[in-house]
Amino acid sequence: MKTLGTLLFALSFALFLPSCGPSECTPENCANGCCTAQAECIRYPSDTACGPGGGSACEVCADGNVCHLGKTVCIPGVMRTRVQPLEASVVSFQPPDDEEWDSDGSPPDVVVEMRCPSAPELSRTPESTSFNPIWSTGGCEVITSNLLKNPLEIAVIDVDPFTLDDTIGTINYQVTPEDLNLGGVELTIPETVISLYIDLSHTYSEM
């Protein structure tokens, strides 16, 4: 009975511990981020938690201000993000029957179409005839806060001049603060697109 009582006391004590308060956030355990008032280490700054590394206190950017990701401080102004598909890798044959993408056996003529949040029109890259297409134009530029609230609608397409275009794959993707800080994101569309890398670069209009 004494042993049972000891076990119950230990269990009650363990359950009580998490309610004693937030865990500690220090320069030692948050060297690459800033610490919130709730002792959470934020390693990818955003408008709601902006601050340099080293375990400093995170700052919440006021209305009309944004977190400058390079300087890790709040600045008055607007942040915009350029969303640009850079490269992809697609499978050699169309599933499920392993047919050629083009009737002559040539690689697909790949374009990427994107509907970006609040953008006035659909963006579209030039054609790149390859199983590993690359692009440098045809992206979109949007206000970053909109990009964090609404997903990108992405379609990878094989353009056929004499027949209907083939949709290689589609995906909706919600950009995250981590993606913004890393400067890009690599996506996969099951069965058809092995990888699609989208570059995310930023500009600031300071007021």
Nearest to 50 by CA among 64, 71, 30, 29: 71
Q: Residue 9 is inside which H or E element, if any?
A: helix 2-16
- Looking up tokens 């915009």, which residue turns up? 80
Residue-level pLDDT at 15: 45
Residue-level pLDDT at 8: 47
Residue-level pLDDT at 207: 67
Residue-by-residue pLDDT tens, the chain, 207 positions? 445 554 444 444 444 444 444 579 999 999 999 999 999 999 999 999 999 989 999 999 999 999 999 999 999 999 999 999 999 999 999 888 888 888 788 899 999 999 999 999 999 999 999 999 999 999 999 999 999 999 999 999 999 888 889 999 999 999 999 999 999 999 999 999 999 999 999 999 976
In three-state secondary structure terms, 107 is: coil
**Cα dist from 175 to 40, 147, 180, whole Å:** 22, 6, 8
Residue ranges of the domains in the chain? Answer: 1-60, 79-206
Q: What is the pLDDT of residues 128-172, one digit of tens each?
A: 999 999 999 999 999 999 999 999 999 999 998 888 899 999 999
Enter the pTM of the model: 0.84
Between CA 136 and CA 182 the distance in angstroms is 19
Sheet holding 56-57, edge to edge: 41-42, 34-35, 56-57
Q: Are 87 and 134 in contact (CB under 8 A)?
A: yes
Residue-level pLDDT at 36: 95
Superfamily (CATH) of domain 79-206:
C2 domain (2.60.40.150)
**Cα dist from 33 to 18, 60, 69, 98, 202, whole Å:** 23, 14, 12, 48, 20
Strand bridging mode 34-35 / 56-57: parallel
